[in-house]
A and B are shown apart, each in its own frame.
Chain A
Amino acid sequence: MDDPLYREEILDHYYSSPYRGRLDRPDHACDLDNPFCGDQIHVELTVEGDRIQEVRFDGKGCVISQAATSLVAERLEGATVQEALQLGPADVVKLLGMPLTPTRMKCGLLGWKAIQKALTPTDVAV
């Protein structure tokens, strides 16, 4: 039985993503866990001016969490920070090309969320 979510393109992003790895001097980074399935993701970005130069990720997890992170990385290299922050969950689902159930949504959005956090200033007064 085939599942379009696990099509070859997605498996390629999972097994051999060109965006997997670490950067020498990242400008932004973030670690996130998905406590539901134990997925972990680490993302790093370099930014010049307002444009994202490189995105890399590292982590352990299911096909969906890792492939979705790779797809978002592919989409965001060369994009502006503004564009990255405007990218929403629906856009990630579009990149995956398949609707996700609420549980799988947590997997699919893990890397996206990490990138959002990495690009969002955190020194907020509390």
Chain B
Amino acid sequence: MADAAAVRGPGLDVAKARGNFPPLAEEARPGVPLRYFDSAATALKPSTVIESVRECMAEYPANVHRGLHVLSERATEAFEGARARIALFLGVDDPAQVIFTRGTTEAINLVARSWGKMALRPGDAIVVSELEHHANLVPWQMIAAETGAVLRYVALNDDLEYDLDSFDRLFDDGRVRMVATTGMSNVSGVRPPIEEIVRRARDRGARVLIDAAQSLAHERLDVARMGVDFAAFSGHKVFGPTGVGVLYGKRELLEAMEPVLGGGNMVLRVERDRAVWNELPDKFEAGTPPIAEVIGLGAAIEYIESLDADAVARHERTLIDHAHARLREVEGFRLLGPWGTAGKGPIVGFTMDGTHPHDLSHLLDRYGIAIRAGHHCAMPLHARLGIPASARASFALYNTTEEIDLLAEALGSIKTMLRRR
């Protein structure tokens, strides 16, 4: 892994790190370099990840498990090696607690359908928040409708942070069975105090699911130490391929849960009218898995591990501080969420007075600047804010303060260009 070695060691050489991400050397359009501020939608992939996927497809494109030929054995070894690496990354001893899914969405659906069906009774409550991505809301709405359970929302303050006092009161009637919370808002970057939430929820006998889709690219999630019951994340937001994600679950829960998908691999024995489920993790992995993608995800986690996590965190903090300082000077700029950067990740959600986010995003693209616009699959949050859509610039370790200066300047120019004449 020569590329990873290039950035290994203390500190973060951003210029060197950028060299690992091929799109950053390309022009967004002729003569205009790419300024990529859309990592919260999908992160760029380092060349080690790209190479691992290529290598799998070119050199050992075999199916995993049960193959007795050399290619299948190599594929199985790489595939299960990725699982083991991911388990260690999450602070988990047992790789069987790492279930591969298509992504965060499928992982949360699996928990809602399987654990929810088993555990929820009419009148039980699932605690969520308005910060949630639809992936951590709709599956709970669906299973609530099916079981007679109800959703309860954590109150948010004006900075869109959890109000922990009212959070406690949600448990007063003893009906909360699950707290499903984001680790980082994909709209505002707000990071709820996960450790505290896990502690309080567990004290009251509730299970906790962490939607780590946004947070995991920026901070480690030690699931075993924290005692979370379930955690979900997507490969493509942690510098890996699309089409693969992970569900972590506590062993006793995963053992008790029924599979959601039936088919090959998830069974030990199939008779004419019944089947016996396979062991973990296979019980939840019916069908041929996304093999190259899993291997690519393993390479992505290896890339993250090769970085100096503290240096990356410092750099990301510099980026968010710089973005706040520069963008608040732009006329009409309105930040969603807190100006303080202590409790938030490197995401700037915003609106511009009088300008629709879609027009902003379209025009920023002329400058080679990639941001995202829309409701970001968080319609309840936008309803609360009373806006139909917002714009979002999200940063990763490969972004620079100079790029953020260009964003601020471009926003100013667009504001002038779109003025009412």
Contact = CB atoms under 8 A, between A and B. Distances in A.
Interface in B404-421: 413, 417-418, 420-421
A6 B417 contact: yes
A63 B418 CA distance: 9
Given A11-B421, A60-B388, A61-B388, A37 B358 contact: yes
A52 B418 CA distance: 32
B356 A62 contact: yes
Contacts of B389: 37-39
Nearest to B390: A38
B362 interface: yes
Contacts of A60: 388
B374 A6 contact: no
Interface string B346-385: 0000000000111100110011000001110001001000
A40 B357 CA distance: 14
Nearest to B382: A38
Contacts, number: 62
Size bracket, chain A contacts: 20 to 34
Given A63-B356, A63-B359, A38 B418 contact: no
Given A61-B356, A63-B356, A3 B388 contact: no
A5 to B, nearest CB: 8
Given A6-B363, A11-B418, A107-B358, A38 B413 contact: no
Nearest to B420: A15
B334 to A, nearest CB: 16
A8 interface: yes
A2 B418 CA distance: 10
A1 B367 CA distance: 8
A104 interface: yes
Contact of B374 (A12, A36, A40): A36
B33 to A, nearest CB: 14
A2 B388 contact: no
A3 B366 contact: yes
Interface in A56-77: 60-65
A35 B413 CA distance: 28
A62 B373 CA distance: 11
Given A3-B366, A6-B359, A37-B358, A11 B420 contact: yes
Nearest to A63: B359
A39 B358 CA distance: 10
B357 A1 contact: no
Contacts of A35: 375
B225 to A, nearest CB: 40
Interface string A31-51: 000011111100000000000
Nearest to B410: A1
B382 to A, nearest CB: 7
Contacts of A2: 417
A63 B414 CA distance: 13
A64 B366 contact: no
A67 B50 CA distance: 42
Question: Taking each of B359, B379, B389, which has the highest tally of chain A beta carbons within 10 Å of its own beta carbon?
Answer: B359
Contacts of A12: 421
Question: Taking each of A1, A40, A61, which has the highest tally of chain B beta carbons within 10 Å of its own beta carbon?
Answer: A1
A11 B355 CA distance: 12
Interface in A1-37: 1-3, 5-6, 8, 11-12, 15, 35-37
Contacts of B374: 36-38
Given A6-B363, A37-B357, A61-B388, A1 B421 contact: no
Question: Taking each of A5, A8, A62, which has the highest tally of chain B beta carbons within 10 Å of its own beta carbon?
Answer: A62
Contacts of B373: 37
Contacts of A11: 418, 420-421
A1 B369 CA distance: 13
A99 B359 CA distance: 15
A62 B421 contact: no
A8 B367 CA distance: 20
B375 A1 contact: no
A62 to B, nearest CB: 4
B365 to A, nearest CB: 9
Given A11-B420, A37-B388, A37-B389, 12 more contacts: A1-B363, A2-B417, A3-B366, A11-B418, A12-B421, A15-B420, A35-B375, A60-B388, A62-B356, A62-B362, A65-B358, A107-B358
Interface of B: 356-359, 362-363, 366-367, 373-375, 379, 382, 387-389, 413, 417-418, 420-421
20 contacts: A1-B367, A3-B363, A5-B362, A6-B363, A11-B418, A35-B375, A37-B373, A38-B382, A38-B388, A39-B358, A39-B389, A40-B388, A61-B388, A62-B357, A62-B362, A63-B356, A64-B358, A64-B362, A104-B362, A107-B358
A-B pairs, top 7 by smallest CB distance, nearest first, are A38-B388, A62-B356, A62-B358, A38-B389, A37-B358, A37-B374, A63-B359
